[in-house]
Chains A and B, each alone.
Chain A
Amino acid sequence: MGIAMAVAVITTMLFLGQIGNIDWTNITQGGYVLQNEAVELIPSIGVSWKVGADALSFPMIWLTAVLIPISMLVEWDAKRGHLFHPLLLVMEGALLGVFVVLDLFVFYVFWELTLIPMFLLILMWGGDDRRYASMKFFIYTFTASVIMLIGILVMYFHTDPISGLGSLTGHHFDLVAMTAQENLIPSEGLRHLVWLMLLIGFATKMPSVPVHTWLPDAHVQAPTAGSMLLAGVMLKMGAYGFLRVAVTIFPESTIEFIPLLIALGMASLVYGAWVCMGQTNLKRMVAYSSVSHMGLIFLGIATMQPLGIAGALFMMFAHGIISPLLFAVAGAFKHHYHTLEIGSMRGIAHHSPWLAAHMMLGWMASLGLPLLAGFVAEVAILIAFWMTYGWLVLLPALTLIITAVYYLSSMQRTIFESNDPENGILPDTMHGEEPRDITWHENAGMLVLGAMTVLFGIMPFIFWDMMSDWSSDFTVETLIDAMHSQGWKP
């Protein structure tokens, strides 16, 4: 465990150390920092090892590098730690790979590689129903990514040869060159088809209604660290890939399908929030709230405003620190109270003040309390949505009230309300024992996450400036032309 932790911390340090070397002024669309010279992997079919980071991927890389040590810390005492912690490191490698590569073949490989550690985490350390959950998780995401692969292949067959790549086939997987190629798929119908295939792959990962049903099962059964990474980073892979591949390469199709995006986003947002109100299982509730928040990302992209896209980016990031906090809290709750039922106990504040404090902070951040990270993203998306669609903004805005309702009511039922203010009601699973408060390592992990939630709520500009620059450039360079050519007026 110690070694795994050391490796993770060193990786994080190395990464954070690199930040000073980055030319921040260059973070715009198309301009990647830290980009390497492409190394040929399979030149015959045009696969190369090409990596780079920009404002789209940078926060995600940051998030991965920071979340892995924290999730290790939170599950410091995991059973079979000699397997558990290395698996988290494999996960880190695969996730970082997804966010840095600029070659679709390697991207796909890393994309699938993230499945394996997560699948094993659920299967080997999961709850009672782990087989069903891990199988469902695997089948859903794998099927979706196969469809995505077919889309990628169609794109591949349309690429023009570039020198040194694809000596046998005449095509390549280079994402940058694909983006640069004018009119990658000339046929409009085929382009839409490919866009939809990509959407299926990415939307299942995000996940969006109606392909979200694997998420609650996977979350409920996954171990705490697995849930934290699943919600914190893996879901963002969907949004990241959607922006990086589908929107960047096919802006026309994106504009064509904006009604679909709004429908999916609204459905996820409203349905996720609505279902949350009926949940009695803590993790299931947080999982559905993730579905709901991911819907906001689609809405942010659908605004086609720099502000909305920056909001979506910030939502990816903010949700990436808030939801791990929520799952860490849920995991600690399960750990010490042996249950996840929301109504089964009252007055945690009395028994476990630290846990109650973290729970409170996480839920408040998730429902969008000002000065916490979630608020920045939500308000940016809503403003942009209003700028584009006018009064239609009432629907997402009102949904946020539902969010507040379910969080506040469960807060009242678990943390505070107790018939006897001196002693809370303990769940039956405790068999009358007095629970202890959370352990030091759980507490430390949650403290860091909580601190970041507050930090990025008060000083969002740390990442916000970079994101909004990128979104402006992205809108100007990629979306405007497409909007004109589609005759689309926001």
Chain B
Amino acid sequence: MSSILTDIDLDTTMLLLPEILMLLGIVAMILIPNLGDATMRIPLTRTRVPIFIGGTRSEFSNNPKLPNTIASGVLGLALLTSFIYLGEEADVGNALHINEFSRLFTLLFTTALLLATIATSTRMPAKPKATPPLVADSDEVADSKVAALIDNRRQVDFHILLLTTGLGMSLMAMATNLFMLFVCLELASLSSYVLVAFHKEADVGGEAGMKYFMVGSVVSAIGIYGMSLLYIWSGSLDMVDLAAAWSAMETNDPLAIIGVGMMMVAFGFKVGAAPFHLAVPDAYSGASSPIAGLLATASKAMGFVALIRLLLIVTMPPSGQAIWMLSIALIAVLTMTWGNLAALTSDNPKRMLAYSSVAHAGYMLAAMAAIGSGLADTSTSSMILTAVVFHLLILVLFKLGAFLVLSMLESDGGGHRIEDLHGLVRREPAIGVAMFVFMLSLAGVPPLSGFLSKLLMINGIVSVSAGTGAATSTTVADWAGGVDPLFWLAVAIVLNSALSLFYYLRIGLVMFFESPETESGLRKAPNLRLAIFGCALLTLLFGVGPMSEWLLDMVTSAVDSMMGL
């Protein structure tokens, strides 16, 4: 029996470089800030030798910016290496498989984490009374204010958790074994529960983390129970074995069906699908904005990877309709409608973005249902999956970007009421315009990237469902009767997108029209500003022109590598 340890040679290890870097980063994060002048007496002698760990810390190891620098450096390197190794393919042991698909998701996770790290670099006060730096401050004053704000050790805890989340997510994207998948999922999830509760500046932080943890652990328990049922049924947790057993199954075995259903609940919670989303708005609005953004993008992407593996690899029949198709379709419609209706009534921008995130999960689930209908040929399935993965990728730009803007407001104590956004364009024209771009992209307005992915998803659904006798009908009613019921998923997406315009544009309108409560600018955070502008620019560039084509090609080939084409 082979194990992970015996199977690995040096070449394969190099392919794991992003994960190894994150691991080293965690170790460095523990060691470096503790470097000091401590010495140890060699027993029975009077000689003291320096051991460097502990004692009075030097200015370098005491630097409050250190953990953040380490984390962003490590994540940046991980991003770079995962990009370099994008095309490589290898087995690591018998539970991990590196291919373009998993590396693309590493890219996604590390980008999201890097953005969240940048956003955290000038916030996280250790003392509630400390004031953040203002635009008018000189660099030195700003640095000293940041130093007063930040507690090095608290920073260390936070950034270790960020890296652990990244490590868990990144490994999960490679898992070919349900057990491995669940372990990595839990590693990422448990870290993210703590991260949610880390936001102690706000009173609701702890409550949100607790809620998220309670619901999350119950749901995980359900998922693990479902997994154990699958194990009882087939005797293996390897996805390839499970898929073989599934397609060999002649009559539906209740054990297997219930097992898969329970796992769908667990992953559905991760992606924020209704009716398992009830903890999502509380968690997002209680967490600090960068973490909420992380949950809405990286965590959601993680859930979708798990769902894609479970639904498309394990339980997708070679032909005909998948057994989960109807339930996923219903969940999709419920999710997008519930999300949008709830977002319409939210006055808290973070809560609004949380519900919008739920709605986006609905759109993607609808696309998954189109694959499950069995009407799609291989290339169409690949196209639909490309749309979903592309959407997950660009969500990092405009969903997390919107949370980054809220993060700027939040570090001035705002960001929880729509009034905090009033007149943002007058206070900070560039930030306000970037926020408007994010809103339009979330709504799916051409030529922003949000439109491109939505168009691809709708196109996928339409192309598998239309053309079943609809062409010859003369009235709309005839025509509507002639299309496959799946077609109404596309209509649901379009109607929901139209509905969502109201609350996205509402943000735009208050930013442009209402008078701000204060005329002062936002805090000084050059990196964060740069990140926000970068996100806004890429939102546009990935929507139209050669860069969008480049990203689409990359996603297409990644999806093909996953589907074994």
Closest residue to A157 on the B side, CB-wise? B462
A413 to chain B, nearest CB (A): 36
B residues near A108, Cβ cutoff 8 Å: 446
Query: Which of B445, B446, B456, B458 has the largest count of A CB atoms less than 10 A from its CB?
Result: B446
Please choose the segment from B133-141, B241-249, B542-550 that sits at the chain A interface, where 4 or more of its residues have CB less than 8 A away: B542-550
B474 to chain A, nearest CB (A): 4
Among A45, A112, A134, contact of B456 (Cβ-Cβ < 8 Å): A45
Knowing A150-B494, A153-B458, A168-B386, the reply to whether A187 touches B470 (Cβ < 8 A) is yes
The answer, yes or no, to whether B473 is at the interface (CB within 8 Å) is yes
Q: Are A157 and B466 in contact (CB under 8 A)?
A: yes
Binds A, one of B104-112, B256-264, B505-513: B505-513
> B478 at the A/B interface (Cβ < 8 Å)?
yes
Q: Is A266 an interface residue (CB 8 A)?
A: no
Judge whether A42 and B479 touch: CB under 8 Å.
no
Instruction: Say yes or no: A45-B383 contact (C-beta < 8 A), given A108-B446, A188-B474, A189-B477.
Output: no
A149 CA to B455 CA, complexed, in Å: 11
Taking a contact as CB atoms under 8 Å apart, the answer to whether B505 and A193 are in contact is no
Contact with B along A147-175 (1 / 0, CB 8 A): 00110010001000000000011110000
Report chain B residues within 8 Å CB of A369.
Answer: none
Query: Does A41 belong to the interface (CB within 8 Å)?
Result: yes
Q: How far is the CA of A146 from the CA of B494 in the complex (A)?
A: 10
The answer to whether A190 and B476 have CB atoms under 8 Å apart is yes
- Which B residues are CB-close (under 8 A) to A65? none
Q: Which B residue's beta carbon lies closest to that of A44?
A: B552
Given the contacts A42-B545, A43-B549, A187-B470, A105 and B475 also touching, CB distance less than 8 Å: no
Residues of B within 8 A of A271 (CB): none
Q: Does B447 contact A (CB under 8 A)?
A: yes
Closest CB of chain A to B483's CB: distance in Å? Answer: 10
Q: How far is the CB of A188 from chain B (nearest CB, A)?
A: 4
Q: Please tell me if B62 contacts chain A, counting CB pairs below 8 Å.
A: no
| Of the residues B459, B470, B474, B494, contact of A45 by C-beta under 8 Å | B459
Pair A112/B478 contact, Cβ less than 8 Å: no
* Bound CA span A121–B458, Å: 36
CB distance from A89 to the nearest CB of B (A): 18
Q: Please give, as numbers and ranges, the residues of chain A lying within 8 Å of B456 by CB-CB distance.
A: 45, 168-169
Q: Are B476 and A189 in contact (CB under 8 A)?
A: yes
Contact between chains at B471 and A42 (CB < 8 Å): no
Interface residues on A, range: 35 or more
- Specify the chain A residue showing the minimal Cβ separation from B436: A116
Which positions 469-510 of chain B face chain A at CB distance < 8 Å?
470-479, 494, 498, 501, 505, 509
Residues of chain B in range 445-468 having any CB-CB distance to chain A below 8 Å: 445-447, 452, 455-456, 458-459, 462-463, 466
* Cβ contact within 8 Å between A135 and B473: no
Residue from A135, A171, A186 in contact with B513 in the complex, judged by beta carbons closer than 8 Å: A135
Bound: A131/B510 CA distance, A? 11
The CA-CA distance from A40 to B549 in the complex, in Å, is 10
Q: Mark A353-373, 1 if CB is under 8 A from B, else 0.
A: 000000000000000000000
Q: Mark A192-210, 1 if CB is under 8 A from B, else 0.
A: 1100000000000000000
Contact status B477-A42, CB under 8 Å: no
Contact B472 A187 (CB under 8 A): yes
Asked if B544 and A187 make an inter-chain contact with CB atoms under 8 angstroms apart, the answer reads no
The answer for the CA separation of A41 and B462 in the assembled complex, in Å, is: 23
B556 contacts A by Cβ under 8 Å:
yes
Q: Is A140 part of the binding interface, using a Cβ–Cβ cutoff of 8 Å?
A: no
Kindly state the separation between the CA atoms of A123 and B423 in the bound complex, as whole angstroms: 13
State which of A138, A168, A187 has its C-beta within 8 Å of the C-beta of B479: A187
B558 to chain A, nearest CB (A): 14
Contact (Cβ within 8 A) A42 B463: no
Q: Which B residues are in CB contact (< 8 Å) with A44?
A: 548-549, 552-553
Q: Say yes or no for A109: interface residue by CB 8 A criterion.
A: yes
Whether B466 contacts A168 by the Cβ 8 Å rule is no
0/1 interface trace, chain B 207-239, chain A, CB 8 Å (1 if under): 000000000000000000000000000000000
Pick the contact of B476: A139, A142, A193 (CB < 8 A). A193
Is A56's beta carbon under 8 Å from chain B?
Answer: no
- Contact of A149 (CB < 8 Å), options: B446, B474, B477, B512: B446
Instruction: State how many angstroms separate the Cβ of A58 from the closest Cβ of chain B.
Output: 26
Which of chain B's residues has its CB closest to A40's CB? Answer: B549
Interface membership of chain A positions 117-138, coded 1 if the CB is closer than 8 angstroms to chain B and 0 otherwise: 0000001000000010011001
Complex CA gap A109/B456 in Å reads 17
Chain B neighbourhood of A135, CB < 8 A:
509, 513
Kindly provide the distance from the CB of A257 to the nearest chain B CB, expressed in whole angstroms.
14
Tell whether, in the assembled complex, residue A42 and residue B549 are in contact, meaning their CB atoms are under 8 Å apart: yes
Instruction: Decide if B383 touches A146 in the complex (CB within 8 Å).
Output: no
- Report the separation of the CA atoms of residues A44 and B512 in the bound assembly, to the nearest whole angstrom: 35
A109 touches B447 (CB 8 A): yes
Residues of the B chain whose Cβ atoms lie less than 8 Å from the Cβ of A170: 463
Q: How far is the CA of A305 from the CA of B39 in the complex (A)?
A: 100
CB B459 to nearest CB in A, in angstroms, measures 5
Q: Are B463 and A169 in contact (CB under 8 A)?
A: yes
Chain A residues whose CB sits within 8 angstroms of the CB of B553 once the complex forms = 44
Residues A131 and B471 in contact, CB atoms below 8 Å apart: no
Chain A residues contacting B556 (CB-CB under 8 Å) are 168
Bound Cα distance from A141 to B308, whole angstroms: 40
Q: Could you tell me if A131 and B513 are in contact, using CB atoms closer than 8 angstroms?
A: yes
Given contacts A41-B545, A105-B447, A135-B513, contact A187 B473 (CB under 8 A): yes
Q: How far is the CA of A142 from the CA of B509 in the complex (A)?
A: 13
Known: A42-B549, A135-B509, A168-B383. A188 touches B475 (CB 8 A): yes
Minimum Cβ distance to chain B for residue A252 (Å) = 12
Q: Do the beta carbons of A45 and B476 come within 8 Å of each other?
A: no
Q: Which A207-256 residues sit within 8 Å CB-CB of chain B?
A: none
**A47 in the interface (beta carbon within 8 A):** yes
Contact B455 A153 (CB under 8 A): yes
CB distance from B443 to the nearest CB of A (A): 9
Instruction: Give per-residue flags for B524-563: 1 if the beta carbon is below 8 A from chain A beta carbons, else 0.
Output: 0000000000000000000011001100110010000000
Chain B nearest CB, measured from A156 CB (Å): 8
Contact B544 A109 (CB under 8 A): yes
Which B residues lie within 8 Å of A143 (CB)?
501
Please give me the residue from chain A that is nearest to B383 by CB atom. A168
- Given A108-B446, A135-B509, A169-B459, check contact A42 B452 (CB 8 Å): yes
Known: A135-B513, A168-B383, A168-B386. A189 touches B549 (CB 8 A): no
**Contact (A146, B459) CB under 8 Å given A42-B548, A157-B466, A193-B476:** no
Q: Shortest Cβ distance from A111 into chain B, in angstroms?
A: 10
Measured between beta carbons, the chain B residues less than 8 angstroms from A43 are 549
Give the distance to chain A from B488, nearest Cβ to Cβ, in Å.
14
Check B473 against A168 for contact (C-beta < 8 Å).
no
Give Cα distance in the complex from A402 to B266, angstroms.
71
Chain A residue numbers with a CB within 8 Å of B549 are: 40, 42-44
Contact B472 A112 (CB under 8 A): no
Given contacts A142-B505, A168-B383, contact A42 B475 (CB under 8 A): no
Contacts of B462 in A (CB 8 A): 157
Q: Kindly report which residue of chain A lies nearest to residue B476, judged by CB atoms.
A: A189
Output the nearest chain B residue to A171 by Cβ-Cβ distance: B459
Whether A187 contacts B474 in the complex (CB less than 8 A), given A41-B545, A135-B513, A168-B456, comes out as yes
* CB of B216, distance to nearest CB on chain A (Å): 36
Which A310-330 residues have C-beta < 8 A from chain B? none
Minimum C-beta distance from A44 to chain B (A): 5
Give A185's nearest chain B residue, CB to CB. B471
Partner of A157, one of B447, B459, B471: B459
Q: A43-B549, A170-B463 known; 12 other A-B pairs, CB under 8 Å?
A: A42-B544, A44-B552, A45-B452, A45-B455, A109-B447, A112-B446, A135-B509, A153-B458, A157-B463, A186-B472, A188-B473, A188-B474
User: Could you show 23 A-B contacts with beta carbons less than 8 Å apart?
Assistant: A42-B452, A42-B552, A45-B452, A45-B459, A47-B544, A108-B446, A112-B445, A131-B513, A135-B509, A135-B513, A139-B505, A143-B501, A153-B455, A168-B556, A169-B383, A171-B459, A187-B470, A187-B479, A188-B473, A189-B473, A189-B474, A189-B476, A190-B476
The 6 closest A-B pairs by CB, nearest first: A189-B476, A189-B475, A186-B471, A187-B479, A188-B474, A169-B459
